[in-house]
């Protein structure tokens, strides 16, 4: 039974299988990173060039996934869309992670009333449905990519703040922190040079996982018409454009839908693999 | 078992055996007709927009009505005549009662018109009232600020409906619609539905067959279609273009479509310093864009390519106007004359590429898609453009700030079978909705003159020239004349399309 064969009891094939799995994940991860860079180069057509005379064409040599209602190449739009959806999701995750980490570090190390207030705020934001808040924020800020980016950062920093804060609370009591403090290191140095490196792994795991959530939110909001301009090749937007013909030509929503699904599953798998790595690493320590 | 329940069950059974499945569905709903709409009807807010709810839904009546050929017909007024340049006299219909049981008479007309013009600047601009005089219980005289020949036409507009006295509170604020037409207002549930009930005291010949009507708000196009397919709604207003042929082929469902009053057009920002302050450029864009392609891409062909502001073919409007045509060579010539050159396939001037900022909004007429198709065609022809499509209010905000080059919008230009309303409210240089900074003195003078004239050769000459100025000075790019597409369950009979987008549900039977 597989469940008894964990750790040292694992068979040779299982180990090989898992390594192969890991290798596959690395390849997928590499492809994901490369998609925004090389995707546009692979695109056979201009993603925004609309030739209405060739609208709603089925897949062909010239248009690998056919054309949409405006006569644009669906395949090229999906490849170009990687640049917007993936890159912006990464930017939002990075920004949310940075803000959350700094707040979490400060609160976890200093504690006191700032911690008390910030954590209540974190809880407050966390219990509300993030997509709904993002809709509210971006409707206040007006339409556009920046409103979308800001609203998503505003609802996604809390997870990092809480994770970092709780980890730091645990770390602060450890010997190396006491030692650093005894040597007269200023708080900022302790936080950034001693504590921060020790929370890198859980942060990376959380970031990878939230990357997939972010892509869904990003695509979801632009599907609702809150993000990018009409006509721009962005995955959520492409689905929104396609839904008007989805009953007659499902290809227009199925293709981008499958692509988003595949990427989100791979991101989650990578996140799980990183989490495993981190856990095995921390148990050795 | 109660006697009543037993009886109603029996009635339902009889209905099923008599006519089969459809009756059963309707019986379950208790004789309610459910209509799915893309945008909300606002029965309590006449002032919010040009709310057409009151006439569309047959809750209130206007003094004058338009038939399906857009010919004036008696409404609450049975006849009217112009007794002086500024004064019209209306003879009122006898024996009409409001939904609250009060009698309709000359005093109600005076009260309703005065209240509504005080409440809404739009209504005041529309009617130009100076005074409404009660001559006898069934005669009123309406005096306008200036000679106003198209007053009877203006009185077909939904905002001029005659509300009962109790529709307003003591401060003149609108409370709820109390009309004289086939359906009584019952309830409005914000962001959900508006419920009406048959009014048995209706004066008209057509008595409603259904007991109730519910207008249900279902903004998402696909959800609205599914609601029709599952029987949740009986009538679908504004069928999404991509689904029309599929619904037509679905058993048990039918599609009805016809041209109606309405045009989607892009208004050019003609302000000093903007690229489209140059008339040659405005004309060039008009020659450049193939409207056939716009209609095909944005509306799956369910629109009429627009080459002029008012749709051609209306009997009440002079027709000898030169429409635009698709002529890329003429466009290129105009670009060159305006000092533009094409470098690397892109039009530009003095080394700067031309970039147009297009603002639009989404509505049931496919306005957003039309804007998107136009922008796509611009790009194909070497003009760079950005497009922002959100809500109507959002677009107005950009337009008022002057932060745009083209604002794509939809107006029911031919709604009152008279050209005055939209020319004066959209294009006159001092019009409240002229955010385009377009000014043409000759146009202003002609429009002012036109509204004083009775129909005839002089009127024809004025409005021919007015329309031609719009073509030649090109403050807009007309894109598509509306086609209204509705779908319904096949067992319903009597659905028609009225050019003023009236639903006429009182004529619908099962």
Contact A247 B245 (CB under 8 A): no
Strands B355-361 and B384-390: parallel
Indicate whether B202 and B303 sit together in one domain.
Answer: no
Sequence-distant (≥ 6) Cβ neighbours of residue B71 within 8 angstroms: B417
Q: Which of residues 143-172 of A touch B (CB under 8 A)?
A: 143-144
CATH of the domain at B492: 3.40.190.10
Q: What is the mean pLDDT of residues B425-439?
A: 89
Domain final position from B167, B202, B219: B167
Half-sphere exposure for B456 (CA within 13 Å, toward CB): 5
**Is B173 domain-assigned?**
no
Indicate whether B8 and B62 sit together in one domain.
Answer: no
* Number of structural domains found in chain B: 3
Q: Write out the two tokens for B396.
A: 């107005």
Indicate whether B267 and B255 sit together in one domain.
Answer: no
Q: How is A233-283 classified by DSSP, letter by letter?
A: --HHHHHHHHGGGTTT-THHHHHHHHHHHHHHHHHHHHHHHHHHHHHHHHH
**Is B373 domain-assigned?**
yes
**Is B127 domain-assigned?**
yes
Question: How confident is the model at residue B76, as a pLDDT?
Answer: 97
CATH of the domain at B343: 3.10.105.10
Give the containing element (helix H, strand E) for B487. strand B476-489
How many C-beta neighbours within 10 Å does residue B30 have? 10
pLDDT above 90 as % of chain B: 77
Indicate whether B127 and B251 sit together in one domain.
Answer: no
Indicate whether B252 and B274 sit together in one domain.
Answer: no
**Is B49 domain-assigned?**
no
Half-sphere exposure for B319 (CA within 13 Å, toward CB): 5
Q: In which residue are the tokens 């039309």 written? A: B370
Q: What is the mean pLDDT of residues B78-104?
A: 96
Is the pLDDT reported for residue B375 higher than 50?
yes
Tell me the three-class secondary structure of B308-355, residue by residue.
CCCCCCCCCCCCCCCCCCCCHHHHHHHHHHCCCEEECCEEEECCEECE
**Is B52 domain-assigned?**
no
Distance CA A131, CA B201 (A): 50
Indicate whether B329 and B433 sit together in one domain.
Answer: yes
Q: Which residues of B touch A243 (CB under 8 A)?
A: 221-222
Is the pLDDT reported for residue B25 higher than 70?
no
**Is B80 domain-assigned?**
yes
Indicate whether B476 and B490 sit together in one domain.
Answer: no
Q: What is the pLDDT of residues B195-238, one digit of tens each?
A: 999 999 999 998 899 999 999 999 888 899 999 999 999 999 99
Distance CA A249, CA B137 (A): 62
Interface residue A69 vs chain B (CB under 8 A): yes
Question: How confident is the model at residue B27, as a pLDDT?
Answer: 45
Q: What is the pLDDT of residues A22-58, one digit of tens each?
A: 777 778 777 777 888 888 889 999 898 888 888 889 9
**Is B377 domain-assigned?**
yes
Contact B372 A143 (CB under 8 A): no
Closest residue to B242, CB basis, from A72, A142, A244 = A244
Indicate whether B460 and B489 sit together in one domain.
Answer: no
**Is B18 domain-assigned?**
yes
Domain final position from B143, B167, B191: B167
- Structural domain including B136 reads 57-167
Tell me the three-class secondary structure of B404-469, residue by residue.
CCEEEEEECCCCCCCCHHHHHHHHCCCCCCCCCCCCCHHHHHHHHHHCCCCCCHHHHHHHHHHHHH
Indicate whether B241 and B309 sit together in one domain.
Answer: no
Indicate whether B225 and B363 sit together in one domain.
Answer: no
Q: Backbone phi, then psi, for B284, in 5-degree steps? A: -55, -45
Indicate whether B271 and B370 sit together in one domain.
Answer: yes
Q: Write out the two tokens for A57.
A: 């064409």
Half-sphere exposure for B34 (CA within 13 Å, toward CB): 22
Closest residue to A143, CB basis, from B225, B242, B390 = B390
Beta strand extents in B137-273 (DSSP E only): 139-144, 183-189, 193-198, 212-217, 235-237, 253-268
Indicate whether B488 and B478 sit together in one domain.
Answer: no
Q: pLDDT grade, residue B17 (50/70/90)? A: very low
């Amino acid at each position: 039974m597989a469940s008894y064969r964990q750790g040292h009891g694992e068979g040779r094939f299982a180990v090989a299988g898992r390594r192969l799995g890991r290798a596959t994940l690395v390849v997928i991860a590499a492809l994901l990173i490369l998609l925004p860079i090389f995707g546009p180069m692979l695109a056979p057509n201009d993603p925004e060039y609309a030739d209405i005379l060739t609208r709603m064409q089925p897949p062909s040599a010239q248009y690998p996934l056919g054309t949409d209602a405006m006569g644009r190449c669906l395949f090229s739009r999906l490849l170009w869309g990687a640049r917007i959806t993936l890159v912006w999701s990464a930017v939002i995750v990075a920004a949310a992670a940075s803000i959350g980490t700094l707040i979490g570090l400060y609160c976890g190390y200093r504690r006191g009333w700032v911690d008390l207030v910030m954590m209540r705020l974190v809880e407050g934001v966390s219990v509300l449905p993030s997509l709904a808040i993002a809709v509210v924020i971006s409707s206040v800020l007006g339409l556009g990519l920046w409103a979308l980016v800001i609203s998503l950062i505003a609802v996604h920093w809390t997870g990092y703040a809480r994770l970092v804060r709780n980890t730091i609370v645990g770390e602060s009591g450890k010997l190396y922190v006491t030692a650093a403090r005894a040597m007269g290191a200023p708080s900022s140095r302790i936080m950034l040079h001693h504590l921060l490196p020790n929370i890198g792994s859980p942060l990376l795991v959380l970031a990878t996982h939230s990357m997939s959530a972010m892509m869904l939110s990003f695509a979801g909001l632009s599907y609702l018409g809150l993000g990018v301009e009409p006509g721009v090749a962005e995955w959520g937007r492409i689905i929104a454009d396609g839904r008007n013909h989805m009953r007659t030509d499902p290809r227009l929503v199925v293709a981008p839908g499958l692509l988003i699904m595949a990427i989100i599953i791979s991101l989650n798998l990578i996140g799980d693999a990183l989490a495993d790595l981190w856990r095995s690493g921390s148990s050795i320590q | 078992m109660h006697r009543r329940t037993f009886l109603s069950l029996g009635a339902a059974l009889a209905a099923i055996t008599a006519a089969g499945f459809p009756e059963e569905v309707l019986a379950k709903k208790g004789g309610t007709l459910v209509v799915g709409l893309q945008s909300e009807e606002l029965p309590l807010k006449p002032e919010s927009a040009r709310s057409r709810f009151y006439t569309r839904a047959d809750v209130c009546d206007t003094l004058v009505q338009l038939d399906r050929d857009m010919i004036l017909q008696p409404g609450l007024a049975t006849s009217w005549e112009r007794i002086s340049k500024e004064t019209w006299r209306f003879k009122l219909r006898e024996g009409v009662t409001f939904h609250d049981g009060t009698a309709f008479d000359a005093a109600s007309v005076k009260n309703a018109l005065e209240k509504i013009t005080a409440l809404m600047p739009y209504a005041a601009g529309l009617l130009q009232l100076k005074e409404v005089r009660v001559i006898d219980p069934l005669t009123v005289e309406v005096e306008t600020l200036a000679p106003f020949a198209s007053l009877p036409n203006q009185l077909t507009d939904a905002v001029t409906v005659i509300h009962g006295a109790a529709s307003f509170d003591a401060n003149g604020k609108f409370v709820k619609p109390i009309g004289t037409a086939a359906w009584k207002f019952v309830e409005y549930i914000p962001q959900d539905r508006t419920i009406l009930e048959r009014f048995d005291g209706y004066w008209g010949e057509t008595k409603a067959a259904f007991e109730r009507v519910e207008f249900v708000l279902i903004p998402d196009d696909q959800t609205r279609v599914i609601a029709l397919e599952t029987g949740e709604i009986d009538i679908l207003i504004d069928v999404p273009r991509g689904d029309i042929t599929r619904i037509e082929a679905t058993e048990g469902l039918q599609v009805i479509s016809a041209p109606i009053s309405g045009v989607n057009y892009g208004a050019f920002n003609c302000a000093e310093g903007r690229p489209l302050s140059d008339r040659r450029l405005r004309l060039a864009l008009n020659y450049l864009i193939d409207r056939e392609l716009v209609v095909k891409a944005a509306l799956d062909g369910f629109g009429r390519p627009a080459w002029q502001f008012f749709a051609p073919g209306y009997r009440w409007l002079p027709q000898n106007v030169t429409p635009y045509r698709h002529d890329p060579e003429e466009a290129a010539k105009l670009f060159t004359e305006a000092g533009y050159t094409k470098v690397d396939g892109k039009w530009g001037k003095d080394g700067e590429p031309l970039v147009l900022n297009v603002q639009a909004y989404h509505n049931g007429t496919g306005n957003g898609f039309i804007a998107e198709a136009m922008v796509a065609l611009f790009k194909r022809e070497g003009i760079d453009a950005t497009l922002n499509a959100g809500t109507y209010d959002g677009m107005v905000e950009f337009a008022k700030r002057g932060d745009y080059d083209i604002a794509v919008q939809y107006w029911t230009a031919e709604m009152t079978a008279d050209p005055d309303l939209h020319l004066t409210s959209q294009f006159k240089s001092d019009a409240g909705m002229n955010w385009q900074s377009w000014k043409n003195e000759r146009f202003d003078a002609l429009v002012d003159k036109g509204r004083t004239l009775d129909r005839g050769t002089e009127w024809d000459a004025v409005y021919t020239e007015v329309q031609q100025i719009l073509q030649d000075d090109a403050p807009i790019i007309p894109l598509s004349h509306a086609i209204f597409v509705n779908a319904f369950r096949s067992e319903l009979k009597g659905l028609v399309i009225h050019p003023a987008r009236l639903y006429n549900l009182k004529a619908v039977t099962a």
